Structure 1
Amino acid sequence: MSLGYRYVGPPDIAARARHEPAGRAIRSGADFLSWYAGADHRDPLFTYVVTVDGVLRVAPRRSEHVACAAGADVLAAGEIGFAADGRVVEVTNQSTGYCPDPSCWPAVAAALDAAGLTHPGGFTSEFVFRHCPSCGHLNLIKDDDYTCAICGAALA
């Protein structure tokens, strides 16, 4: 399991996030049902993080992960979709602010299990991110091509 991820996105987003509400903590089925009843369902996906103490936090999809996490480090971050009964129907590690590795799944599973939410047993879509050591560009790795899309440098 990952030891955690620091926010690595743009500093101006982190600064704005300090003034946004943190995501809603989901520690139980009752927490989920209360939150879900008032959530905006026009977009079926939501932003989530798993805090360093293992708690699932959710926010509207257009929220920044760093805001959902109240600026703190996280064990995992991405997007998540639910059925009305609390089943997780989609979950990813897609967060360009934290760039979590797919190996963060155990933290997600533990937070979902602790909240009593059924999940698919793994990410429904996995993403691998790398920052270029030469130009600093954030790259989404596709087809196992570890080459920077901007400058062509090799990515570790």
Structure 2
Amino acid sequence: MVVEQQRYRYVGPADIAVVALQGDEGRLIRSAEEFADWVASVDARELAEPFTYVVDTAGVLRLAARRSEHVACAGGGTVLAAGEIALVRRPDGWSVSEVSNQSTGYCPEPRCWPAVAAALKQVGLDHPGGFTCEFVFRRCPDCKELSVVKDGDFICYVCGSDLPQAWNVDQT
């Protein structure tokens, strides 16, 4: 049985998307060869910090500089996953040292991990086996603010209302 991955549309501020989409999209990384070409083109100083990533709806990894907006990395499209990723060079090649679902533009659930794992496998990158830092996002049904759930406490940090257990970020 094939389980359909949830797709996430951009839910961040429209003004950020307008500006971000004037820049470059994330680099498509479909294979180990494309990863090698990309990493060879990245300034060594940039490799010392995490990158912005998305997994597009075709299951392809896209990478961009950390200060890039996820919506720009995705070319404005819908994604299966988004967050930040840190890479480390080991004697036997590159691997992922840290990876999160931290994206307030898409607010993906931690359950998007299989899409990330599949994209990394396609590229031949070893990874930690799950998110090294997970974020749970909810939209407050009362004040409509985006909240990050901390310590399993589903309470809106703005108005104190209860947040829903189920993902609802794309509801306004």
TM range (shorter): over 0.9
Matches within 5 A, 1:52-67: 52-67=57-72
- Alignment of 1:47 onto 2:55: no
Match of 2:81 among 76, 97, 111: 76
TM-score under structure 1 length normalisation: 0.96
The one-letter amino acid of 2:129's match is: G
- What is the alpha-carbon distance in structure 1 between the residues aligned to residue 103 and residue 111 of structure 2? 14
- What is the alpha-carbon distance in structure 1 between the residues aligned to residue 147 and residue 5 of structure 2? 20
Q: Aligned residue for 1:11?
A: 14
Q: Tell me how far 1:154 sits from its aligned partner.
A: 0.8
- What is the alpha-carbon distance in structure 2 between the residues aligned to residue 32 and residue 39 of structure 1? 11
The one-letter amino acid of 2:38's match is: W
Q: Tell me how far 1:3 sits from its aligned partner.
A: 2.1
Unaligned runs of 5+ in 2: 165-172
Matches within 5 A, 1:1-156: 2-40=5-43, 41-42=45-46, 43-84=48-89, 85-156=93-164
- What is the alpha-carbon distance in structure 1 between the residues aligned to residue 12 and residue 50 of structure 2? 21
- What is the alpha-carbon distance in structure 2 between the residues aligned to residue 62 and residue 22 of structure 1? 13
Q: SS of the residue aligned with 1:86? A: strand
Q: Tell me how far 1:2 sits from its aligned partner.
A: 3.0
Give CA-to-partner distance per residue, 1:74-102, whole Å, 9 cap, x none: 00000001113220111000000000000
Report % sequence identity: 58
Q: Return structure 1 stretches of 4+ with deviation > 2 angstroms.
A: 40-43
Larger Rg: 2
CA RMSD of aligned residues (A): 1.1
* Conservation of the 8 A alpha-carbon contact between 1:17 and 1:70: no
Range moving further from structure 2, 23-32 or 4-13 = 23-32
Q: Tell me how far 1:131 sits from its aligned partner.
A: 1.0
- What is the alpha-carbon distance in structure 1 between the residues aligned to residue 6 and residue 158 of structure 2? 30
- What is the alpha-carbon distance in structure 1 between the residues aligned to residue 10 and residue 77 of structure 2? 8
Give CA-to-partner distance per residue, 1:82-139, whole Å, 9 cap, x none: 1132201110000000000000000000001111111111111111011111111111
- What is the alpha-carbon distance in structure 1 between the residues aligned to residue 25 and residue 118 of structure 2? 21
Unaligned runs of 5+ in 1: none
